[in-house]
């Protein structure tokens, strides 16, 4: 891992090499060790090391960005020169805003767990051996990946701002497949590898895969659904993506546009962006070095806050909320550490209180049908069941859903009390299970 001191030296060298009026330099990257298994054996075992140095410079309002994955003396000078070259030949960016003044930066001291990076591929193989053996003995097929690694993000600008954060990452994703179309899933994401209970997660999925054999086709239509956290994940990802990007909001392209302060969801729905929470851990500053604070996006069903970076904030006459993405950040600012707050019922209780409905383990390949109505479509995956009289009964073939998130998050029947952490498209996110009424399935898969 590039230490704070080493990062500071590299960034200072880059700033010193820049003749631009303003310069921002970002260093990010780390190591990843991934052990992937397929058909009950380890099929791929890889180590990756990757760092990226990104330089953004401005001459007046002409801005250029260059990045490089190596930054020894000559390469460092070259990447700075490239950014300058791009800026000099560019046109003025009317919305360019001066870089941030130095400011005290939060550091999260528990984010880097040495044990996570010290966990060896050999340790992982030892850990996987019993579950792969048991899987084969039960005539199941296991596939998945056990990953550990570290990441760092550090920023310096020509006004003297400096920020650094390092953190570790570990994850276990696991698919158990039984004959006759039985399939089940479990996953766990954390900064501390010791928290991953590989055997328990695998055992749970193996039992569920056997239960999921011989699925039948259910009739499409509106159902009460109990969505496991692994299914809620995709809905919250789109709730965030379609609602809380500041740029799209300012252009009236989000479902939240014109609705700040209005209650549009069930009063139990609260979504918060918080990089300091262990389940949605991330650097406490953004790619412009703006310190973050926990930011409520939805509180008791009411749309509370939008996200801004410096460029958009200046244009809209508001302060940056610390949500700048990596330059040139053409999509504008986004929340990267969102958590949907948990409720008071266990997953079992959500099922037990359902007379008739559908249980969904995962939603898969979801995509936007209509951005303003927040309509999303996708498929169920790895274990869909009928719920009858409070019990999971008949396994079902995968189903296609088409649903407006505006309706889904207004039709809340219950919220799970266990909030699980995931790696999402824009960063970390954490969600509980949800029970929703009147959720629309429009089709069934053939297999």
Site for other proteins in 188-217 (CB under 8 A): none
Is 134 near other proteins (CB under 8 A)? no
Closest distance to other proteins from the beta carbon of 67 (Å): 5
Closest distance to other proteins from the beta carbon of 393 (Å): 22
Q: Which of 6, 9, 16, 39 binds other proteins (CB under 8 A)?
A: 39
Q: Which of 4, 12, 77, 93 binds other proteins (CB under 8 A)?
A: 93
Closest distance to other proteins from the beta carbon of 224 (Å): 17
Question: In the sheet that 428-431 helps form, which strands lie side by side, from edge to edge?
Answer: 302-303, 295-299, 271-273, 337-340, 428-431, 420-423
Closest distance to other proteins from the beta carbon of 402 (Å): 4
Closest distance to other proteins from the beta carbon of 264 (Å): 14
Closest distance to other proteins from the beta carbon of 80 (Å): 11
Is 135 near other proteins (CB under 8 A)? no
Is 367 near other proteins (CB under 8 A)? yes
Closer residue to other proteins, CB minimum distance, 219 or 330 = 330
Q: Which of 3, 6, 19, 48 binds other proteins (CB under 8 A)?
A: 48
Closer residue to other proteins, CB minimum distance, 67 or 304 = 67
Give me the helices (H) in 92-197, please: 114-118, 121-137
Closer residue to other proteins, CB minimum distance, 182 or 414 = 182
Sole window of 10-18, 250-258, 278-286, 343-351 interacting with other proteins (rule: CB under 8 A): 250-258
Site residues for other proteins, 402-421, by CB under 8 A, read: 402
**Within a 10 A sphere around the Cβ of 411, how many other Cβ atoms?**
20
Sole window of 4-12, 45-53, 277-285, 287-295 interacting with other proteins (rule: CB under 8 A): 45-53
* DSSP code string of 366-422: EEEEETTTTEEEEEEEEEEEEEETTEEEEEE--EEEEEEHHHHTTSEEEEBS--EEE
**Within a 10 A sphere around the Cβ of 219, how many other Cβ atoms?**
8
Q: Which of 5, 91, 219, 317 binds other proteins (CB under 8 A)?
A: 91
Pair of tokens at residue 444: 């069934």
Sole window of 249-257, 271-279, 411-419, 427-435 interacting with other proteins (rule: CB under 8 A): 249-257
Q: Label residue 245 exposed, middle or buried (CB < 10 Å: 0-12, 13-18, 19+).
A: buried
Sole window of 61-69, 157-165, 299-307, 387-395 interacting with other proteins (rule: CB under 8 A): 61-69
The CA distances from residue 316 to 18, 110, 307, in Å, are 30, 36, 11
Angle at 79 between CA 75 and CA 80, to 5 degrees: 120
Site residues for other proteins, 145-174, by CB under 8 A, read: 145, 147, 173-174
Closest distance to other proteins from the beta carbon of 357 (Å): 20
What is the torsion angle, in degrees rounded to the nearest 10, for the CA atoms of residue 305, residue 311, residue 313 and residue 314? 180
Residue 234: enclosing H or E segment and its boundaries? helix 229-243
Is 180 near other proteins (CB under 8 A)? no
Q: 247 φ, ψ to 5°?
A: -65, -50
Beta pairing, strands 141-157 & 412-415: unpaired
Closer residue to other proteins, CB minimum distance, 120 or 394 = 120
Is 63 near other proteins (CB under 8 A)? yes
Closer residue to other proteins, CB minimum distance, 131 or 341 = 131
Q: Which of 60, 102, 221, 258 binds other proteins (CB under 8 A)?
A: 258
Sole window of 156-164, 279-287, 298-306, 372-380 interacting with other proteins (rule: CB under 8 A): 372-380
Closest distance to other proteins from the beta carbon of 373 (Å): 8
Cis peptide before 319 (omega within 30 of 0): no
326 Cβ contact list (under 8 Å, min separation 6): 26, 28, 54, 287
Is 83 near other proteins (CB under 8 A)? yes
Total count of residues recorded for the chain: 447
Residues in the interface with other proteins (CB under 8 A) total: 90
* DSSP code string of 272-324: EE-TTSGGG---SB-TT-PBP--EEEEETTEE------HHHHHHHTS---S--
Contact 321, 308 (CB under 8 A): yes
- Return d(Cα 320, Cα 48) in angstroms, integer: 34
Q: Which of 370, 391, 393, 394 binds other proteins (CB under 8 A)?
A: 370
């Amino acid at each position: 891992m590039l230490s704070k001191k080493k990062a500071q030296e590299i960034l200072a060298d880059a700033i010193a090499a820049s003749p631009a009026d303003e310069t921002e330099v970002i260093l990010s990257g780390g190591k990843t060790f991934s052990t992937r298994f397929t058909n009950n054996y380890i099929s791929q075992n890889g180590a990756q090391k990757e760092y990226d140095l990104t330089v953004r410079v401005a001459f007046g309002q002409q801005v250029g960005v260059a990045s490089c994955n190596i930054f020894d003396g000559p390469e460092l000078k070259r990447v700075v020169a490239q950014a300058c070259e791009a800026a000099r030949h560019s046109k003025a960016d009317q919305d360019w805003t001066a870089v941030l003044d130095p400011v005290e930066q939060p550091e999260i001291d528990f984010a880097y767990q040495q044990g996570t990076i010290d966990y060896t591929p050999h340790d992982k193989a030892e850990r996987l051996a019993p579950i792969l053996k048991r899987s084969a003995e039960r005539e199941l097929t296991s596939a998945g990946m056990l990953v550990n690694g570290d990441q760092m993000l550090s920023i310096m600008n020509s006004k003297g701002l400096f920020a650094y954060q390092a953190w570790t990452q570990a994850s276990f994703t696991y698919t158990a497949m039984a004959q006759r179309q039985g399939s089940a899933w479990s996953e766990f994401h954390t900064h501390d590898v010791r928290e991953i209970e590989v055997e328990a997660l695998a055992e749970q999925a193996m039992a569920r895969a056997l239960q999921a054999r011989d699925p039948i086709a259910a009739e499409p239509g509106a159902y009460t659904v109990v969505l496991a956290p692994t299914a809620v994940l995709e809905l919250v990802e789109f709730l965030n993506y379609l609602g809380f990007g500041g740029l799209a909001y300012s252009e009236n392209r989000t479902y939240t546009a014109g609705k700040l302060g209005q209650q549009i969801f069930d009063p139990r729905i609260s979504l918060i962006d918080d990089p300091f929470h262990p389940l949605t851990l991330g650097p406490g500053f953004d790619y412009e070095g703006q310190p973050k604070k926990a930011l409520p996006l939805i509180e008791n069903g009411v749309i509370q806050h939008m996200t801004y970076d410096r460029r958009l904030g200046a244009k809209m006459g508001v302060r940056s909320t610390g949500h700048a993405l990596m330059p040139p950040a053409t999509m504008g600012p986004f929340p990267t550490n969102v958590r949907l707050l948990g409720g008071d019922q266990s997953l079992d209780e959500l099922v037990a209180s359902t007379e008739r409905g559908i249980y969904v383990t995962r939603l898969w390949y979801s995509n936007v049908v209509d951005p303003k109505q927040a309509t999303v479509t996708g498929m169920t995956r790895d274990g869909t069941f009928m719920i009858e009289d409070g019990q999971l009964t008949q396994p079902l073939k995968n189903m296609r859903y088409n649903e407006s998130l505006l309706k889904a998050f207004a039709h809340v029947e219950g919220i799970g009390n266990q909030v699980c952490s995931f790696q999402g498209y824009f960063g970390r996110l954490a969600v509980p299970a949800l029970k929703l009424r009147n959720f629309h399935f429009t089709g069934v898969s053939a297999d």
